Amino acid sequence: MTPYESPKGRRAYRRLECNPTLKIIETLLLICFFSGMVLYFYPHVISIMHSLACQALRLGSGESIGIITIPTKCLWKEIESIHIEEVETNELYAFVIALFSFFVAWIIPKVKMAKGLSMWIATIAILTFVSSAFFAIIPAKFPYTIGNFTEFYLHAEIFIWVTIPIFLSLCLAPVPTSMVSKTLLIAFTIAYSIVLGICRYALFIYVLIHIHFLFMPVLFFIFGPLLDIYAIISLYALYVSAYSKKIKEGFSI
């Protein structure tokens, strides 16, 4: 080090190797290919999802359950969603859940645990409290049916599948890894999201029918699309970490 040389860290002005034209082409190709695939195949996936959910519900609830299939339009194609007419809403149960969720929301900030976690639990408890209070006081005013829920859930899932390639391709643009591995990541993420979507679809309907309708807001707000986002980000993080060695080789100063 010369007398006047600053202790400059090499990382301060590092950048990543890039051919801008290739990057743009790569990103556009990934977006077009995967979004196109999703847009072409989503009615088939939804159809599989529908039949699997019906089977799971019959298995869990007995053959007597009156599942009605409603055709609904999503984008430019028709899909099928599940509707069940007779769902009972128990006011006393809603009242008990309201009391319990209020207690949880009140006690959780006092419990010694990481605030980041306790605030999520409190948020879920508050949402459950609002919903259960609604069902305890004015259950008849609840504006949705199972059919509405399944229809909107499926719309949200399709939207997620279409946007996964767009968001992931853009986020992967700065990452100096091969197009093949990026393609595999996007394909795996979509597949994972579809499997997660199918499992949740059957589970959500089961919860709404057999436990209580009041859990609909929590299922939609917390365990709906937000969970998909969480899964996408987690897979992305694992991917970047797994390729750390190769990435380090791509540095230039």
- Shortest Cβ 139–other proteins spacing (Å): 12
Q: Where are the beta strands (DSSP E) in the chain?
A: 15-16, 67-74, 77-84, 251-252
Q: Which residues contact 95 (CB under 8 A, 6 or more apart)?
A: 132, 136
C-beta of 87 vs 226, nearer to other proteins: 226
C-beta of 86 vs 245, nearer to other proteins: 245
- Looking at the DSSP bridge assignments, the partners of residue 82 are 69
C-beta of 18 vs 68, nearer to other proteins: 18
Handedness of CA 16, 176, 159, 53 (dihedral sign): negative
Cα end-to-end distance, the chain, whole Å: 18
C-beta of 34 vs 236, nearer to other proteins: 236
C-beta of 60 vs 225, nearer to other proteins: 225
Distance of CA 208 to the CA centre of its chain: 19
Query: Position 191: which residue type?
Result: A
Contact 185, 168 (CB under 8 A): yes
Q: Which residues contact 62 (CB under 8 A, 6 or more apart)?
A: none
Q: Please give the Cα distance from 33 to 30 (Å, whole number).
A: 5
> Residue 82's closest CA among 52, 42, 40?
52
- Shortest Cβ 158–other proteins spacing (Å): 12
- Shortest Cβ 51–other proteins spacing (Å): 24
- Shortest Cβ 230–other proteins spacing (Å): 6
Interface residues with other proteins (CB under 8 A) are 2-9, 11-16, 18, 20, 23, 114-117, 119-120, 123, 127, 130, 134, 143-144, 148, 152, 155-156, 159, 163, 167, 170-171, 173-175, 217, 220-221, 224-226, 229-230, 233-234, 236-238, 240-241, 243-244, 247-248
- Shortest Cβ 217–other proteins spacing (Å): 6
- Shortest Cβ 60–other proteins spacing (Å): 25
C-beta of 62 vs 71, nearer to other proteins: 71
